[in-house]
Structure 1
Amino acid sequence: MTQLPLRAQLAATLGRTAATLSRMTGRGDGSVIGGRVGLVLEPDLLRKLAKDRKLVLVSATNGKTTTTRLIVSALQELGDVASNAFGANMPAGHVSALAQDKHAPYAVLEVDEKYLPEVIDTTGAGVVVLMNLSRDQMDRAAEIWLLAQKWRRALAGKNTHVIANADDPLVAWGASTAQHVTWVSGGQRWREDSWCCPECGGPLDRKDNDWACRECAFRRPQPTWWLDEQNDLVIDPYGQRWPLHLQLPGRANASNAAMALATAALFGLAPSTALDRLRQVKSVAGRYTTVERDGRVIRLLLAKNPAGWLEAFDVLDPPPVPVILSVNAQGPDGRDTSWLWDVDYRVLRGRPVYVTGERRLDLALRLDVAQVPFQLAEHIGDAFAAVPPGKVDVIANYTAFQQIRAEFGRAV
């Protein structure tokens, strides 16, 4: 990498120092404060830190952190990789991650959907991975078609290679202005936000993962990579079939792996080599981590919007394994909990259900309407105490998940 200018070096150094102090004093993991300090001293620090790196940006509503982790794992075959491993996905987090590994020739950054255009412009990233768009944080996030529109504008005229999920109409529309696109059939289980054509507003005809507008020429692009969910394998552009055999559970992670394999191929990595590394990943920033406490084997799952809850339900252990649900409504979660009514909780019938979190009463009302029996617990510790020894799954939204991680010493 090119030597940083003196001002940028000083900003990066002080940022790393602030991050270290944050971790040492237990105030956080340092993934944001270091970047904030650096940007105060050098507002153009992100651009300077990104210069001369082979940079991948990963954006979506769900699965950003996991897909970022999978791509990092694959690219480590080639050398050191800088990444915002704990999901600090706005510019301050990006600065902190790049400053922490200032000599790494590769970088993979998870990027918040709203910040993606800004980060593309600032970093000049060579590769952008786009996976899905659905409703999230409804009290403060724009309509998702507006996000897709911003993606289109950001990618137009850029010499950026996009890896995009062809099965999500909003993603396909957002990526369609890019000069170079590798289309991946990654699947789309949650379709409630994409029944209308983003190009003209007409209805979309859908069958399996295929879709086409009834009133204009907009239709699903032809993929070159395919996820075969039923057989747990990915088909590459040459027709070769690659069994996944991931340690990460569920169909969503199979889709994430397909995106990661297509991305790794851009860097010259064979699927066999990339898969060997993907199969070593068993937890991501606490997600899917299993911990033991007082005879209980607790698995942690994150779900922060309707699409995410659908995927979390997909990986639950079968009844009668109990499940603890925890919902907050702090700033990072979005304060509007009306999205709870878009989740079909009837799948939880037949198992013990415990409800906790700051908005436990909102969730309790939703479960009552869905005729799902449950027990209320004021604190997460009370919920753990009420569960009998043995396996238990925990599903929590963002800040509730972080609180539970803190309860276990930020297990990762």
Structure 2
Amino acid sequence: MAGNSDPLTPRAKLAVTAGKAVAAASRAAGRGSGSVIGGRVALKLDPDLLGRLAQHLDVILVSATNGKTTTTRLIAEALRAAGPVVSNALGANMPAGITSALAGGSDAKFGVIEVDEKYLAGVARDTAPKCIALLNLSRDQLDRAGETRMLAENWREALTGSKAVIVANCDDPLVVWAASSSPNVVWVAAGQMWKDDAWSCPSCGGVMQRPGDDWFCGECGFRRPAPSWALNGDHVLDPHGSAWPIHLQLPGRANKANAASSAAVAAVFGVPPQVALERMYQVQAVAGRYDVVQFQGRDLRLLLAKNPAGWLETFSLIDPPPAPVILSVNARSADGTDTSWLWDVDYTRLTGHPLFVLGDRKLDLAVRLEVANQQFQVCDDLDQVIQQAPPGRIEVIANYTAFQDLRRRVGN
């Protein structure tokens, strides 16, 4: 199953086979891809399986609050210029899902792996990555993940003395603080639209100063490092100062930032920026995100946003008023059960859009929109929205399980 030089042990092979069988049974029963349950079974049979599967790969880990799945996909496309890639492309980003993904990549050279922020330390320990990309840290699933500085502390400890090249966003103070414990960091100026989790210094607790795009702590001197890569409008600036155009089918500033970080990662493995960025153009949608689907004679664009930073970036993507917008929010375990984050989102940016509210927690969202003086209708289901929405493409913004619900409804 693994590279010829170091085949898997009989126990590991049994674990892989059993995991694939369970995953196939789960798919046949209509319970999703089966990757998580398959990985759990495989890890039960061989707890060291993740490390064994990774040992013949050049592993790249990608972690962040927002943009992990898309950036993982962009890096995977870029690195295919240098060899076969295995990746958890559908976003199953905890150890079981990662194990399932790697079990399918026996001939790969690179493993490009999205990792949930809470699990980065353990997965890095097991897979000995050559490169780790850190994009951002912001509030998300507060009931599960806890406070952002605790996550940054966890990352910082995990990266101390790491042999991996860390590709990190120098515009996010929490990421910089986490990455600074590593001896080998490539800084990327990828930008940061959402700043509300980084007003106090992660190093000393002092007040962060933010003149223009710069930042520093006025008390301890912790400051933004000089980047060697930078997003500059529609271009990536490389360490030599050359500007490479970004041509993406994915919309928005955030995806240009993801492309800049991805180009920096590709360069670690010898793929030139021009080649990397050209290959990224192939990506049209990522696990349904950004897809435009037809449903009951209407065009719907599906946008995933699951926390304040993500919603802020997504609002900048949508068609101008009076484009109708659906907002759908659940609070199941995969979303985080705490919806207090809705109060951190600036809904006045939606003024002028006819708004339609769906999801398990639609009333939580309705109260928040009422306070923001927005005009909206609470609906029972997507069919009711279609009947009532004015003409034009409908923008659909949903958090994680609400997004999956909507994809199932439109047959995507």
Both proteins in one fold, TM over 0.5: yes
More displaced stretch, 362-371 vs 385-394: 385-394
Q: Which residue of 2 aligns with 1:98?
A: 102
Q: Aligned ranges for residues 70-85 of structure 1 at < 5 Å?
A: 70-85=74-89
Q: Which residue of 1 aligns with 2:186?
A: 182
Q: Which residue of 1 aligns with 2:314?
A: 312
- CA offsets 1:242-277 (integer angstroms, 9 cap, x no match): 111211101110110000000000110111111111
Partners of 1:156 and 1:177 within 8 A in 2:
yes
Structure 2 residue 249 is matched with structure 1 residue 247 = yes
**Letter in structure 2 aligned against 1:159:** K
- CA offsets 1:323-365 (integer angstroms, 9 cap, x no match): 0000001111111111101101011111111001000001001
The Cα of 1:24 is off from its aligned counterpart by 2.4
- CA offsets 1:7-47 (integer angstroms, 9 cap, x no match): 10111111112222222221111221110110111111101
- CA offsets 1:73-103 (integer angstroms, 9 cap, x no match): 1111122211111111100011000002222
Partners of 1:310 and 1:343 within 8 A in 2:
yes
Partners of 2:295 and 2:410 within 8 A in 1:
no
Partners of 1:31 and 1:86 within 8 A in 2:
no
Q: Which residue of 1 aligns with 2:347?
A: 345
SS of equivalent to 2:336: coil
Q: Which residue of 2 aligns with 1:354?
A: 356
SS of equivalent to 1:85: coil
Q: Which residue of 2 aligns with 1:378?
A: 380
Q: Which residue of 2 aligns with 1:62?
A: 66
Structure 2 residue 36 is matched with structure 1 residue 53 = no
SS of equivalent to 1:71: helix
Structure 2 residue 302 is matched with structure 1 residue 300 = yes
The Cα of 1:382 is off from its aligned counterpart by 2.2
The alignment of Structure 1 onto Structure 2 pairs a total of residues equal to: 408
More displaced stretch, 290-299 vs 169-178: 290-299
**Letter in structure 2 aligned against 1:52:** H
Partners of 2:247 and 2:278 within 8 A in 1:
no
The Cα of 1:408 is off from its aligned counterpart by 2.6
Partners of 2:57 and 2:110 within 8 A in 1:
yes
Q: Distance in 2 between matches of 1:209 and 1:278?
A: 27
- CA offsets 1:204-261 (integer angstroms, 9 cap, x no match): 11123211110012111110001013xx111000111011121110111011000000
Q: Aligned ranges for residues 4-403 of structure 1 at < 5 Å?
A: 4-229=8-233, 232-403=234-405
**Letter in structure 1 aligned against 2:364:** D
- CA offsets 1:48-83 (integer angstroms, 9 cap, x no match): 111121000000000000000000111111222111
**Letter in structure 1 aligned against 2:128:** G
The Cα of 1:134 is off from its aligned counterpart by 0.4
Q: Distance in 2 between matches of 1:30 and 1:79?
A: 27
More displaced stretch, 201-210 vs 361-370: 201-210
The Cα of 1:192 is off from its aligned counterpart by 0.3
Partners of 1:322 and 1:352 within 8 A in 2:
yes
- CA offsets 1:85-138 (integer angstroms, 9 cap, x no match): 111110001100000222212111100101000111111111100000000001
Q: Distance in 1 between matches of 2:388 and 2:57?
A: 51
What is the aligned-residue RMSD (CA, Å)? 1.0
More displaced stretch, 358-367 vs 134-143: 134-143
The Cα of 1:389 is off from its aligned counterpart by 4.7
**Letter in structure 2 aligned against 1:34:** G
Q: 1:384 to 1:80 in 2, by over 3 A?
A: farther
SS of equivalent to 1:104: coil
**Letter in structure 2 aligned against 1:290:** V
Q: Distance in 1 between matches of 2:187 and 2:200?
A: 21
Partners of 1:227 and 1:254 within 8 A in 2:
yes
- Segments of 4+ moved more than 4 angstroms: none
Q: Distance in 1 between matches of 2:383 and 2:398?
A: 14
Structure 2, gaps ≥5 residues long: none
Percent identity reads 57
Partners of 1:329 and 1:337 within 8 A in 2:
yes
Q: Distance in 2 between matches of 1:332 and 1:319?
A: 32
Q: Distance in 2 between matches of 1:209 and 1:183?
A: 15
Partners of 1:132 and 1:168 within 8 A in 2:
yes
Q: Distance in 1 between matches of 2:104 and 2:395?
A: 34
Q: Distance in 2 between matches of 1:33 and 1:103?
A: 23
Partners of 1:295 and 1:389 within 8 A in 2:
no
Q: Distance in 2 between matches of 1:65 and 1:215?
A: 36
**Letter in structure 1 aligned against 2:326:** I
SS of equivalent to 2:144: coil
Q: Distance in 2 between matches of 1:344 and 1:31?
A: 36
Partners of 2:324 and 2:392 within 8 A in 1:
no
- CA offsets 1:134-187 (integer angstroms, 9 cap, x no match): 000011212111111111111111211100000000000000011110000000
TM-score in terms of structure 2 length: 0.97
Q: Distance in 1 between matches of 2:212 and 2:48?
A: 45
Structure 1, gaps ≥5 residues long: none
